[in-house]
Amino acid sequence: MKVLVPIKRVVDANVKIRVKADKTGVELANVKMAMNPFDEIAVEEAIRLFEAKVATEIVAVSMGGQACQETIRTALAMGADRGIHVKTDVELQPLAVAKLLKAIVAKENPQLVIMGKQAIDDDCNQTGQMLAGLLGWPQGTFASKLALAAGKITVTREIDGGLETVLLDLPAIVTTDLRLNQPRYASLPNIMKAKKKLIAETTPAELGVDPAPRLTTLKVEEPVKRKGGVKVKTVQELVDKLHNEAKVF
Amino acid sequence: MDLETRAHLKETVRRFVRERLVPLERKVEEDDAVPAEVRAELKRLGLFGLTIPAEYGGLGVDMATDVEIAFELGWTSPAFRSVMGTNIGIGSQGIVIDGTPEQKKKWLPKLASGEIVGSFALTEPDIGSDAASVKTRAVKRGDRYVVNGTKRFITNAPYANVFTLMARTDPSDPGAGGVSAFIVAADSKGIRLGKADAKMGQRGTKTCDVFFEDVEVPAENIIGGREGQGFKTAMKVLDRGRIHISGICVGTAERLIHESVGYAVNRKQFGKPIADFQLIQAMLADSRTEASAARALVLETAGRYDRGERTTMDAACCKYFASEMVGRVADRAVQIHGGAGYMAETAVEHFYRDVRLFRIYEGTSQIQQLVIAREMRRAFEG
Ligand SMILES: Cc1cc2nc3c(=O)[nH]c(=O)nc-3n(C[C@H](O)[C@H](O)[C@H](O)COP(=O)(O)OP(=O)(O)OC[C@H]3O[C@@H](n4cnc5c(N)ncnc54)[C@H](O)[C@@H]3O)c2cc1C
Ligand SMILES: Cc1cc2nc3c(=O)[nH]c(=O)nc-3n(C[C@H](O)[C@H](O)[C@H](O)COP(=O)(O)OP(=O)(O)OC[C@H]3O[C@@H](n4cnc5c(N)ncnc54)[C@H](O)[C@@H]3O)c2cc1C
């Protein structure tokens, strides 16, 4: 069974994000980038399926500028077999990514697409769902556990207030939540070997997709700074402040 | 090595060190041991084979990559590096540099995977800096040597499966020419370990005496197959090792600086962060400048080593400067932390004790000075 894992290059989770002075976006110049953490979980899950002899091939796909190949290399070092880089300098929004992935799915015929539930940069949480819609495939989102058997996949989903378990026919789309697994560190020998693995390059034009954004970003702003706290003397004063000033209830 | 792969290796070690190892530092201090699962993870990560050639199952990184990784490993307690430190350095490099093809095939793959641990046994109770004078004797009897003597302060000896042992094969030559290097299996009959040394710092690392009593070693276990080459082998091993250790010193200095800046910015006295005081700023600036200078020296020397230049003097300069530098940086770090810096809750307290060793082992600072001056004269006098 072939597994496709889309991965996004995002600002490293440990970096303190700064908004550009002109408020058009966040500062990316000289900022450390890394694989979206949810996608790392997706890669890890695919590798575990491979180690369990359920998956036979893992293909990692990333889209964007040349530097995406570094992110693909990381997936290859973790254990993916080969990579596909969709080269473009256009800003990619979820619908464009879903369309591009649909075109790749048509070529690659994976039985399973495992992807992050969202990227930590724009927090859209849309691409997996859109791809499932475009392909007409079943989807198991926010997965915290997977089990494959007899052409079907059982997905345990983290939902408000508990867990929901769904059974999907393959092929299917799964999006990962934080607790699905703890991604491994690529071993140093595998990092060396990843250099020799293949990364195929393609473009939106070759895939027959117009990736132009449909949404316009009006402005990006820093969250309001947290104001200093106050000390209250009594519980009554606290309740009073919560009610009258913070308007919590 | 291509820059992308080097960066990828460095980044992976960096993440592992900071996410996985740094949170365990206190535990290592308290237990005086590295958790077993961390040993397994370090193996899985492939770090044991860092400097062993790829054809023998290692990574075979060049010196420039080696020091970049040392910068990252230096960020955390030295106990973690010590787990594979001897396999990366003194415990394998004798075989890597001067071993015969058969010796390499037999030992290096297992050293690279971490299946076995290698130690280096040169120092003796009466022989330290004057390493050419080793007294441990290896007497040839037929197709084997019989070894008698005591080795002291041997890092990782309690874990070792194999020793690179320096012993005198020619009693008529009391100097370097009479010394040979042997590969000795640690389970050989007649080897006994002393109890673990109680040390000032570097808790979690283990050293002890190793006693050799009529230990039989097959003659084919002389490194390189020839008698009298042992001291030369040891010096080549140390030449490379000194650059690596210097990289570790730089990494630890970076950590100490990181802790110092963080503390200085957050600690308030006289109504403001102590980082506002110029006397504190002077300490921070001195530490930063010296660490940067050491880093530059180490990178420059690593590059020259990779280009095949003779770097005996430069490696000694690195070891001398970097180890003394990190001592000063650690002292300032404790000072900036005030009373807290003397307390075991802060990381700087153990690093202050840990780094003291770097000025002593693999050649004391005085020995580095002697090497530097000797090489200067040699270059001048021709
Ligand atoms: C924690 C630890 C781990 C170690 N691990 C190993 C190991 O794995 N394998 C191994 O073989 N050894 C190991 N050693 C030994 C280490 O390499 C020696 O301690 C070191 O070489 C110094 O030798 P010494 O202790 O005998 O000191 P000495 O040689 O007795 O030196 C004492 C002092 O005299 C100075 N001195 C000596 N000669 C001169 C001179 N000609 N001119 C000026 N000053 C001089 C020295 O610089 C030093 O200040 C380890 C030591 C320690 C502490
Ligand atoms: C083992 C031990 C025993 C102790 N015993 C006692 C005791 O019995 N009784 C007691 O009362 N206290 C005791 N102390 C506390 C000790 O006196 C303080 O730790 C010391 O005065 C430093 O204060 P601090 O730790 O708060 O450091 P801080 O005052 O926070 O200083 C941190 C750093 O900032 C520097 N600094 C501060 N202000 C300035 C400035 N204006 N300009 C430049 N640099 C500045 C300091 O020199 C230091 O390098 C003890 C401490 C220890 C470690």
What rounded mean pLDDT belongs to chain A? 95
Specify whether B236 is located in the same domain as B347.
yes
Whether residues B331 and B264 fall in one domain? yes
Is B362 part of the annotated catalytic residue set? yes
Q: Do B256 and B322 touch, CB atoms closer than 8 A?
A: no
Q: Provide, as residue numbers in chain A, all residues whose Cβ is less than 8 Å from the Cβ of B45.
A: 185, 187-188
Question: Is the domain of B299 the same as that of B366?
Answer: yes
Burial class (CB in 10 A: 0-12, 13-18, 19+), B156: buried
B82 CB-near residues (< 8 Å, 6+ apart)? B34, B155, B156, B202, B204, B205
CA distance B46 to chain A (A): 5
- Which of B45, B79, B113 is the endpoint of a domain? B113
B218 and B237 in a common domain: no
Q: Which residues of B touch A192 (CB under 8 A)?
A: 5, 9, 54, 59
Of B228, B251, B284, the residue that ends a domain is B228
B71: domain CATH number? 1.10.540.10
CA of B90 to the centre of ligand 1 (A): 15
User: Distance (Å) from the C-alpha of residue B241 to the closest C-alpha of chain A?
Assistant: 20
pLDDT bucket at A225, cuts 50 / 70 / 90: confident
Instruction: Provide the pLDDT for residue A150.
Output: 86
Same domain, B236 and B361: yes
Which pLDDT does position A223 carry in this prediction? 86
Phi-psi region of B116 (alpha: psi -120 to 50; beta: other; left: phi over 0): beta
- Residue with CA nearest ligand 1 atom 23: B128
Boundary-marking domain end, from B167, B199, B228: B228
Residues with C-beta less than 6 Å from any ligand 1 atom: B 119-123, 128-129, 153-155, 199, 207, 357, 360-362, 364, 366-367
Ligand 2: lining residues by beta carbon, under 6 Å: B 267, 269-270, 274, 277, 279-280, 335-336, 338-340, 342
- Whether residue B372 is found in the same domain as residue B297: yes
Examine the domain organization and report whether B11 and B38 are in the same domain. yes
Q: What is the pTM of this model?
A: 0.92
Q: Are B9 and A70 in contact (CB < 8 Å)?
A: no
- ipTM for the whole complex: 0.87
- Tokens at A137, concatenated: 């495939």
Dist. CA B41–CA B374, nearest whole Å: 43
What pLDDT, in 10s, does the model give residues A141-184?
999 999 998 899 999 999 988 999 999 999 999 999 999 999 99
Q: Spell out the residues 6+ positions from residue B95 whose beta carbon is closer than 8 angstroms to its own.
A: B103, B104, B107, B108, B111, B118, B164, B183, B223
List, for residues B219-233, the tens digit of each pLDDT value.
999 999 999 999 999
pLDDT of residue A229: 85
- CATH number, domain containing residue B334: 1.20.140.10
Q: Where are the beta strands (DSSP E) in chain A?
A: 2-6, 9-11, 33-35, 57-64, 82-87, 112-116, 139-149, 152-159, 162-169, 172-176, 199-202
Is B209 in a helix, a strand, or coil? strand
Cα–Cα distances (Å) from A14 to A36, A140, B114, in that order, read 12, 29, 32
**B127 and B89 inside one domain:** no
pLDDT bin (cut points 50, 70, 90) of residue A83 is very high
| Structure-token pair, residue B57 | 């199952």
Ligand 2 atom closest to the Cα of residue B337 is 32
- Best residue in B1, B6, B12, B19 to probe A by mutation, most A CBs within 10 Å? B12
Contacting A residues, span 54-113, partner chain B, CB-CB under 8 Å:
70, 73-74, 77
Residue B309: domain span: 232-381
* Residue B284 and residue B257 in contact, taking contact as beta carbons nearer than 8 Å: yes
Residues B161 and B214 in one domain: yes
Number of the ligand closest to the Cα of B282? 2
Distance (angstroms) between ligand 2 centre and the Cα of B351 equals 20
Do B23 and B153 belong together in one domain?
no
| Residue A131 pLDDT class (50, 70, 90 cuts) | very high
State whether A187 and B2 contact (CB < 8 Å): no
Q: Could B59 and A74 be called an inter-chain contact, meaning their C-beta atoms sit closer than 8 Å? A: no
Same-domain pairing of B168 and B63? no
Buried b or exposed e, range B311-334, using 16+ CB within 10 angstroms: bbbbbbbbbbbbbbbbbbbbbbbb
Give A66→chain B minimum CA distance, Å. Answer: 13
CB B8 to CB A77 under 8 A? yes
Task: Give the gap in angstroms from C-alpha B45 to the nearest C-alpha of chain A.
Answer: 4
**Smallest CA separation from ligand 2 atom 5, residue:** B339
pLDDT tens-digit series, residues B86-97: 999 999 999 999
| pLDDT of B229 | 95
pLDDT reading at A191 higher than 90: yes
Nearest residue to B59 via CA among B109, B7, B101: B109
Residues B274 and B366 in one domain: yes
pLDDT by residue, tens only, chain B of 382 residues = 899 999 999 999 999 999 999 999 999 999 999 999 999 999 999 999 999 999 999 999 999 999 999 999 999 999 999 999 999 999 999 999 999 999 999 999 999 999 999 999 999 999 999 999 999 999 999 999 999 999 999 999 999 999 999 999 999 999 999 999 999 999 999 999 999 999 999 999 999 999 999 999 999 999 999 999 999 999 999 999 999 999 999 999 999 999 999 999 999 999 999 999 999 999 999 999 999 999 999 999 999 999 999 999 999 999 999 999 999 999 999 999 999 999 999 999 999 999 999 999 999 999 999 999 999 999 999 8
User: Chain centroid to CA A15: how far?
Assistant: 18
Q: How many domains does chain B have?
A: 3
Q: How far is the CA of A150 from the centre of ligand 2 (A)?
A: 69
Q: How confident is the model at residue A227 (pLDDT cuts 50, 70, 90)?
A: confident
Are A170 and A153 in contact, with CB atoms under 8 Å apart? yes
Please tell me the predicted confidence (pLDDT) of residue B271.
97
Higher pLDDT, A106 or A230: A106
